[in-house]
Structure 1
Amino acid sequence: MFGLIHESIRQWCYRKYGEEVWMAILERSGFENGKESIVNHYYSDQDTYILVDAASTVCKMTREEVWENCGAFLITYTMETGWDDLIRSMSPNLKGFLDNLDSLHYFIDHVVYKANLRGPSFRCEDSPDGTITLHYYTGRPVLGLYPIVKGILREAARRMFKLDILLNIIGRTQRSVQMSTGERIEEHVIFQIIPQNTNQSNEDALGTLPKQIESSDYQLRLTNKDFVNTFPYHIVFDRDCKLIQVGREI
């Protein structure tokens, strides 16, 4: 696990409980002060597991509650430390943000830290009732990381899109997957994301499909200027695959 995760755990504990509690966590986990959260260092999963277990015991909460709290704080911490513009530019709505999570993980793993790691994967689907179904795949089933995803989603929805969401786990399975490097166990968790106090503004922020317009007389008239302003991240190719237009933010 990247040291960024360890540092966000440390920062969360410092701000919520204070230095004394964090020192108690370090003592219980066996980490040397100052070496437990080096941001660009890669820690083994076992190290992370020990740190989270120690935080769970000292802070008197379940391991899942620690992961969820740290997931929520991870969004706050990364946005405070220079990632704010990048995260906000990922999408104007929650569904687009979820669709781009794989790309964000790839950028962090391969470009920023040059680690060439296989990160988690996400896939989301619209539902007819206006909710989003999110599929989360991870090769770290032993760590039980899905609660950190819950924390990240809730905080990202609140901070970036001003959305309050309810998260339900509607499926959780594990399977053996044959990789080029050998066999591994992959966990598949399915979340149902339900917006609270739904209105038109929330639907726009959520990014779900709009309701079908039944009137056959309705026509959408949109000038090129309006299109460019509405879709700042678009790319347009012609039939010969020649690039003819891009959004103003690209």
Structure 2
Amino acid sequence: MYGMIHKGVRQMVIDQLGGEAWQATERKLGIGPTELVTGMVYEDSLTIEIIAEAAARLNLDMEDCLVEFGRYWIKFAERGSFGSFMDFTGQDFPSFIANLDRMHLAVATAMPKAQVPSFSLIKNSPGRMEVEYRSDRAGLEKFVIGLFQGLLDRFQRQGTVNIIGVTNQATMFEILHDHKD
């Protein structure tokens, strides 16, 4: 994965537990600033190790930590250098979801080695969306649930996110939300 993800996990740990908790994480995993370079691509196994250690420190199981981190990631990204990407992706919830692939294309342009996921808005009706998620990475569906929950928060919506189908090529998500558009 990417250093920007590592930086997000770092900030989540610091925000919730303080700087010493992150320093202890670095010591335990034998990592430091070189694993936090935003545009660098790192082995997925390192990212999973970092998230697993954050989960242990936050007293969460891995799946709950992935959901919480996905939700946190939206706030982290909008405050940082990816805020402008997010601002241009959409000014309302449905358009943002519909434009996720465009945003990831911009990220891939800035980071040519990036393996970005793909999102397709399959159905969009008042209060309900179906989104298809495709990724070369396995096991990040809970993170995606958190991302969608974070986007609901971003657009001041109430709602739930559920997985409604899984194939070996894609995961289908249903987003039920209060309708404001």
Q: TM-score, normalised by structure 1?
A: 0.66
Identity percentage of aligned residues: 24
User: Take 2:166 and 2:112, find their aligned partners in 1: how far apart are those partners?
Assistant: 31
List per-residue Cα deviations over 1:7-52 (Å, max 9, x = no partner).
Answer: 0000111011111211222233232x32231212211111111111
- Asked whether the equivalents of residues 24 and 58 of structure 1 are also in contact (C-alpha less than 8 Å), the reply is no
Unaligned 5+ runs, structure 2:
none
Post-superposition offset of 1:163: 0.8
Q: 1:105-184 residue pairs with structure 2 within 5 A? A: 105-110=104-109, 112-115=110-113, 117-126=114-123, 130-141=127-138, 144-159=139-154, 161-174=155-168
| Residue identity opposite 1:19 in structure 2 | G
Report what 1:79 is aligned to. Answer: 78
User: Take 2:21 and 2:36, find their aligned partners in 1: how far apart are those partners?
Assistant: 16
Post-superposition offset of 1:203: 3.5
Q: 1:1-250 residue pairs with structure 2 within 5 A? A: 1-31=1-31, 33-110=32-109, 112-115=110-113, 117-126=114-123, 130-141=127-138, 144-159=139-154, 161-174=155-168, 186=169, 188-195=170-177, 198=178, 202-204=179-181
Post-superposition offset of 1:84: 2.9
- Asked whether the equivalents of residues 101 and 122 of structure 1 are also in contact (C-alpha less than 8 Å), the reply is yes
Which structure dedicates a bigger proportion of its chain to helix?
2
Tell me how large the CA RMSD over aligned residues is. Answer: 1.9
Greater RCO structure (CA 8 Å; 6+ sep): 2
Classify 1:88/1:122 alpha carbon distance in 2 versus 1 (closer, same or farther; 3 Å).
same
Post-superposition offset of 1:103: 1.4
Unaligned 5+ runs, structure 1:
175-185, 205-250
Figure out how many residues of one structure are paired with residues of the other and give that number. 181
Q: Secondary structure at the match of 1:22?
A: helix
> Bigger radius of gyration, 1 or 2?
1
User: Take 2:125 and 2:105, find their aligned partners in 1: how far apart are those partners?
Assistant: 31
| Residue identity opposite 2:5 in structure 1 | I
